[in-house]
Amino acid sequence: MKTTGVAAVVLASVVHAHYTFPGLVYNGITEEDWNYVRKTTNFGVHDHGPLFNISATDLRCFELEPGKGSPETMPVKAGDTVGFRVDGNVTHPGPLQFYMAKVPEGETAKTFAGDGDVWFKIFNDDPIFTGSWPDWPNWGKNEVSVTIPPCLAEGDYLLRVEHIALHNSQKVGGAQFYLGCAQLHVSGGGTKTFSGVSFPGAYSATEPGILFDINSGPTSYAVPGPTPISC
């Protein structure tokens, strides 16, 4: 079947409207999909659909098979940059955030469910307001990355990437969550540990950064969740 140029563009935009974060990127190497990142419910080639229900335990890591973990845990150095390959591109407006959770004693990065008030934020980006829409620096990216805090105590961690798409968030339940969790072992850092928030529980469906009318000409934005930690 042939398509016109316009139809091809429309089709491409539909296919790539959703996205996942399947491949860990470290030391310039993009690892095999789902080897260090827990396979998410939306991993399918023709799916990649988001999570809408922020009261669900899926908000932790959006895992296809909770309790299974990914096959491997990546050893990284505190202070290094770790990234995720984006399958598709970040094609919607909204904030990019990274959280970490230290795995408790007696568990490993592969077995830890991420339950409890264990998630601390290490990064979020902020928009600039130069036009009718806020402009986030993550727009169009096919790789996103973050610096592992240099003060972290050695141990196993989960690294959670999250992008909140706000193009339809003017109604309750309209915000779209794209996320995933990688398994890391962090060494070479400091001695600090951090408590944090739980997923679900960290966000409210009606807070300003989630129930947000992007088409109303906003001039400010309140990023959901806690303030990123500081070493």
Q: Which two tokens stand for residue 206?
A: 């009606």
> Would you call 226 exposed, middle or buried from its count of C-beta atoms within 10 A (0-12, 13-18, 19+)?
middle
- Every domain of the chain and the residues it spans: 18-216
Arithmetic mean of pLDDT, 125-152: 95
5-39 confidence digits (pLDDT tens): 333 333 333 345 899 999 999 999 999 999 999 99
**Which tokens belong to 45?**
């080639």
The answer to whether residues 183 and 156 touch, using CB atoms and an 8 Å cutoff, is: yes
- Specify the DSSP element, H or E, that contains 6: helix 5-15
User: For residue 9, what pLDDT is reported?
Assistant: 31
- For residue 10, the model assigns a pLDDT of 30
Q: CATH: 2.40.180.10, 3.40.50.150, 2.70.50.70, 2.60.120.380. Which one for 18-216?
A: 2.70.50.70
How does pLDDT run across 188-221, given as a tens digit for each residue? Answer: 999 999 989 999 999 999 999 999 999 999 999 9
Average pLDDT on 96-105 reads: 98
- 13: helix, coil or strand? helix
Average pLDDT, the chain: 92
pLDDT attached to residue 8: 32
Query: What pLDDT sits at residue 126?
Result: 95
In three-state form (DSSP H/G/I as H, E/B as E, the rest C), the secondary structure along 136-170 is CCCCCCCEEEEECCCCEECEEEEEEEEEEECCCCC
Spell out the alpha helix ranges (H) of 49-144.
58-61
Amino acid at 123: F
